[in-house]
Structure 1
């Protein structure tokens, strides 16, 4: 009964979404206040109904109701409770319901917290947001219904994909969707502004919090996905340039560009056209990611579905919204004339350079991701674009971004002086060079990647410190510290995010340049060395299927002792798992996490002579990658909690001459 109610709630929400899409838009056009007022209760009602629908599906998974086809195909009674819940979105239909839940949540938040918006703009924003909801309601109800029942359900289900039975993957999709879907608000604001014919400083301030929230959630989602790939897949890496990884990276890059571009529009009323275009493209690339994951046009461990018909539906949504928005953008080009002017050396110019580097890097990732598909469709050749292409084509843009970031953040608006900005930065540059030279001197027979990573990472981090210090003005040391503590949260958020970026740049270069690897076969009791560490394979035992212990798999469990200079360091427990219900194997790496390094061991297959294949790594600064990602997300959160992000730019303007509908 609850399942049917969840399905009915979804249908009812679809009807309300249609009303919200049409009535407020007409009201805004005609100036009818009561028609525009329909948007607020409709947005709230949509969210409540979809939340109930999602709760009904969750109840079916938690209670193992195998009469629901989706539960049958993606759950099992022996599965731990965490993965029963995460199984709700660990499949195509459930993940799309989560997508729709977040989409309606953002629409409801725009209604709840948008009281400062002009009434016509708010009505149009909510109407555009609801039009996106309508498209996904139709997609779910007509192609991906999660509430389909079967007449004679079996005793137990087929289980969730074992790769998804992991804490990292339990939380990765919700955060990623919060980022993907959050960009729909920037899109709705952009389209509403184009319809209204008004893009100004106030609009830029209104759109920034939504973009910042989406970027923050995307950062967390991408970080969780990278962390999961690192410890779960057993290959020892953190980023594979997989098409679906790229599909999340592209909107993240464009959202970062949009954040910086909106600052220029807010402060100087420049880059209006570019900011609107970025808002459209950022959400467009989110839809593109959805298409890649669900259409079957690419192969990925992240992919949810392999259904061309569903892919065509999502492609139609992408073409309609992005194509329609770009057409409207072209029609309104004359209304987007920039007012502010600025010199070549200015913060505006630095932010333009920042935008160009981020946008072009996103375009490079797009070309590398989509090119195999294009080649297969046009010339019939099967091509593979891998890490070497992306590393060589993508890295130079982030090198350039790192170089311009510290001075660009400190330049004055409109007209700046480069020598005046570089003067306080000379100490940061000198220290960064000194650390790079030290790294070069300590390493032997290795590439320049490590020292360059040290140079760029230190330059960005120390530059952020100098920027924060200079914001305190000229005063005594104690007075400056006091002023720094009182700086707005947005300044602290900027400092934290830039510091996190510098740490990530350094950590990636350091790990890739200085990691050591060993692959061999080892007998029980055998010892081998890797760098300064000694590894002893003490035992390999079989762990039986035991749901009472939260173990719905059979595993070969290795025990490897690690020591250094005769002193015990850690015991690692790598596993090779096999999930009998799903019939799939997985690998669990044994990792000793440290502040300066990770010791990483993967257990392979047993050989004919009784020895076991073992792959071992020592990975310097591995955890700094995710630590830096957390800092970037915290920086976004700090900026988002700045009061200036939540207050209107200027007093709320009432719609003049509003006429009630008869």
Structure 2
């Protein structure tokens, strides 16, 4: 095959994928409606075929990048012959067209695996789920072919070299952050499809929740890692040392994470107790809708952000129409069919059911708060009612107190019982944890710094209030076993997943509280021989050197760091780079990471005569932000690995029958 034909192969593969997605969308749903098993059987092969041809298209675009085919507009605008091969491969999704293609590839992949691992589900359920996912695929493949074709040519005027990838994106963070984020976004399409299938079929029971929970947890885990990687990338790549700026595009990823967290807990109640059914369905629809909203914000051109890709209004209009159709039709189906799948299951207001409901309500309130702060300025601007900026003061003033209230109920949840909990039992189990959290939370800030900070104390009390009741619950579950080890072995992976997830929340709260209040920053003028003191460390610039990278020139400062009077020294080397193709300067920060603190040095502007503006920062516990996120994601994966979710319920599954019987008895 001649290299010049590769883009055409990719383009036609997308067309074939679109046709297969149309068949996947129409035939299975029509087969269910007309009760034709042969039509329903189209679901799995069409899902596999769509994945195959989208994968071919993606491979063709990647090959065009690696072969420096600058006749392809996408390659010419986002790559360069000097770009290292690994950045060429990641540049495929470092732009609007390629990122939407990656999105479609992942959507096809999730659809294939949903079909592949649903062999024990009833045929009509599989047909509905895969059919709905086919409908979503049709929308995105049409979006690519009509407005965002990544294979457009620059013929006959082929440039001799490309414009290069944005230097901000020439980083390992870009290689792993967008795929993880998209896997989370797109993964919620499976849960959305399960919700629509349940509404269309009028069937939502414990078995349905057991089918949907692994997909929800897995998508949520991917999204958690993706958000954490984005925060990490912003921290070290942008040169200002921040980890969250409440940027609208950052918020776009946070919104489905918040509603997805509520969905995970709601599904647990639906499986265990048969309640919250309508609430669970609505959260599934909302979570995927917020994922689509994030796509609109990033790719519509309504935002100016380092994270945003597109600035073409026609693309934004297409996504807005797709979002409107998806949300409108799914809410219409919900309004018409939800009464058929819902029923009341009683519980006392002091029970795990009630506490999970309250936490869900708090998560929804937080989601709405972030959504309003993100979208309201855009609505005003679109209606020519003026421009306003909603920034950190608004979000911090509302997000933080709401999160603290939620933490109060999180501490109660693990030791509460389903349906009803005795008040005296709850007090007896938790009074030690409450006193311990209060005392330790008040004392520990004195260890981190010379001065006591009330905000740090409140954050630590909240984190400890989450962790200490978990330890009490672990003690209660293992104390009657023959040995502590034997008791631990009896606990399910889903239980450990829950514990790790809540521990991750506590660790993140500690990181946020400490780094937000005890960070130290100095902006200094430094030349060779100059020193600066920050948090007991002495930073001395030893020399300035020049170096050449594969596609950039750099001024590097060699800085020796010494702590107090210690004889131990180490070197940090921040850089100021100039990328040749774009002529764009970039800051490459120097980090000395640690579990309890980071040292952070970034070069600013050249002040002349060998002097540079330098930003030197001491960031205590900043790593706990991302450690907490990894613990949460690990908890989600552990829950997926639980053996209950590897054993899909069938119509004759005795567990499902027993669960349904319990639900009917509870309703009665």
Give the superposition deviation at 1:441.
Answer: 4.2
Cα separation, 2, equivalents of 1:43 and 1:299: 36
For the 8 Å contact 1:469–1:484, the answer to whether it is kept is no
Cα separation, 1, equivalents of 2:527 and 2:164: 35
Residues 266-305 of structure 1: matches in 2 within 5 Å? 266-305=271-310
Cα separation, 1, equivalents of 2:47 and 2:354: 40
Cα separation, 1, equivalents of 2:539 and 2:335: 64
Pair 1:107–1:607, CA change in 2 (3 A): same
Tell me if 1:114 matches 2:118. Answer: yes
Q: Which residue is equivalent to 1:554?
A: 553
Find 2:170's aligned residue among 155, 165, 171. 165
Cα separation, 2, equivalents of 1:480 and 1:403: 29
* Greater CA drift, 455-464 or 264-273: 455-464
Cα separation, 2, equivalents of 1:418 and 1:176: 42
Q: Which residue is equivalent to 1:308?
A: 313
Q: Which residue is equivalent to 1:47?
A: 51
For the 8 Å contact 1:561–1:568, the answer to whether it is kept is no
Tell me if 1:511 matches 2:510. Answer: no
Cα separation, 2, equivalents of 1:282 and 1:397: 20
Cα separation, 2, equivalents of 1:473 and 1:197: 44
Pair 1:121–1:473, CA change in 2 (3 A): farther
Secondary structure, in 3 states, of the residue corresponding to 1:471?
A: helix
Give the superposition deviation at 1:209.
Answer: 1.0
Compute the TM-score of the two structures, normalised by the length of structure 1.
0.95
Secondary structure, in 3 states, of the residue corresponding to 1:332?
A: helix
Find 1:525's aligned residue among 518, 522, 529. 529
Tell me if 1:194 matches 2:199. Answer: yes
Q: How many residues align?
A: 646
Cα separation, 2, equivalents of 1:337 and 1:306: 43
Give the superposition deviation at 1:446.
Answer: 5.3
Give the superposition deviation at 1:604.
Answer: 1.3
Give the superposition deviation at 1:652.
Answer: 5.8
Q: Deviations over 1:165-200 (max 9, x none)?
A: 100121100000000000011111111111112222
Cα separation, 2, equivalents of 1:565 and 1:323: 63
Cα separation, 2, equivalents of 1:446 and 1:589: 31
Cα separation, 2, equivalents of 1:616 and 1:372: 34
Find 2:391's aligned residue among 386, 393, 409. 386
Tell me if 1:471 matches 2:477. Answer: yes
For the 8 Å contact 2:433–2:469, the answer to whether it is kept is yes
Tell me if 1:205 matches 2:210. Answer: yes
Give the superposition deviation at 1:608.
Answer: 4.3
Q: Which residue is equivalent to 2:179?
A: 174
Q: Which residue is equivalent to 1:448?
A: 454
Give the superposition deviation at 1:332.
Answer: 1.5
Q: Which residue is equivalent to 1:542?
A: 546
Tell me if 1:644 matches 2:650. Answer: no
Cα separation, 2, equivalents of 1:7 and 1:122: 30
For the 8 Å contact 1:468–1:491, the answer to whether it is kept is no
* Greater CA drift, 265-274 or 314-323: 265-274
Q: Which residue is equivalent to 1:599?
A: 599
Pair 1:562–1:123, CA change in 2 (3 A): same
Secondary structure, in 3 states, of the residue corresponding to 1:173?
A: helix
Give the superposition deviation at 1:641.
Answer: 0.8
Give the superposition deviation at 1:427.
Answer: 3.1
Segments of 5+ residues of structure 1 without an aligned counterpart are 654-662
For the 8 Å contact 1:47–1:105, the answer to whether it is kept is yes
Q: Which residue is equivalent to 2:368?
A: 363
Q: Which residue is equivalent to 1:236?
A: 241
For the 8 Å contact 2:120–2:650, the answer to whether it is kept is no
Cα separation, 1, equivalents of 2:416 and 2:569: 49
Q: Which residue is equivalent to 1:656?
A: none
For the 8 Å contact 1:100–1:133, the answer to whether it is kept is yes
For the 8 Å contact 2:547–2:553, the answer to whether it is kept is yes
Cα separation, 1, equivalents of 2:398 and 2:66: 46
Cα separation, 2, equivalents of 1:166 and 1:371: 33
Tell me if 1:221 matches 2:220. Answer: no
Cα separation, 1, equivalents of 2:451 and 2:383: 44
Cα separation, 2, equivalents of 1:57 and 1:538: 46
Q: Which residue is equivalent to 1:18?
A: 22
Secondary structure, in 3 states, of the residue corresponding to 2:444?
A: helix
Cα separation, 1, equivalents of 2:609 and 2:464: 50
For the 8 Å contact 1:577–1:586, the answer to whether it is kept is yes
Q: Which residue is equivalent to 1:396?
A: 401
Pair 1:418–1:510, CA change in 2 (3 A): farther
Cα separation, 2, equivalents of 1:446 and 1:83: 46
Q: Deviations over 1:539-585 (max 9, x none)?
A: 222223x42xxxx1111211111101232342111111121212222
Tell me if 1:27 matches 2:31. Answer: yes
Residues 255-270 of structure 1: matches in 2 within 5 Å? 255-270=260-275
Tell me if 1:78 matches 2:82. Answer: yes
Give the superposition deviation at 1:445.
Answer: 4.7
Instruction: Note the aligned Cα RMSD (angstroms).
Output: 1.5
Give the superposition deviation at 1:390.
Answer: 0.6
For the 8 Å contact 1:465–1:495, the answer to whether it is kept is no
Q: Deviations over 1:144-180 (max 9, x none)?
A: 1111122232221111111111001211000000000
Residues 87-106 of structure 1: matches in 2 within 5 Å? 87-106=91-110
Secondary structure, in 3 states, of the residue corresponding to 2:545?
A: strand
Segments of 5+ residues of structure 2 without an aligned counterpart are 654-668
Give the superposition deviation at 1:481.
Answer: 2.9
Pair 1:202–1:445, CA change in 2 (3 A): same
Compute the TM-score of the two structures, normalised by the length of structure 2.
0.94
Cα separation, 2, equivalents of 1:98 and 1:605: 37
Q: Deviations over 1:370-428 (max 9, x none)?
A: 12112223453211111111111111121112111122122111111243134233333
* Greater CA drift, 256-265 or 486-495: 486-495
Residues 308-457 of structure 1: matches in 2 within 5 Å? 308-378=313-383, 380-442=385-447, 443-445=449-451, 447-457=453-463
For the 8 Å contact 1:458–1:506, the answer to whether it is kept is no
Q: Which residue is equivalent to 1:659?
A: none
Cα separation, 2, equivalents of 1:652 and 1:314: 43
Find 1:68's aligned residue among 63, 68, 72. 72
Cα separation, 2, equivalents of 1:424 and 1:62: 61
For the 8 Å contact 2:415–2:429, the answer to whether it is kept is no
Give the superposition deviation at 1:611.
Answer: 2.4
For the 8 Å contact 1:117–1:652, the answer to whether it is kept is no
* Greater CA drift, 387-396 or 565-574: 565-574
Cα separation, 1, equivalents of 2:326 and 2:423: 42
Q: Which residue is equivalent to 2:40?
A: 36
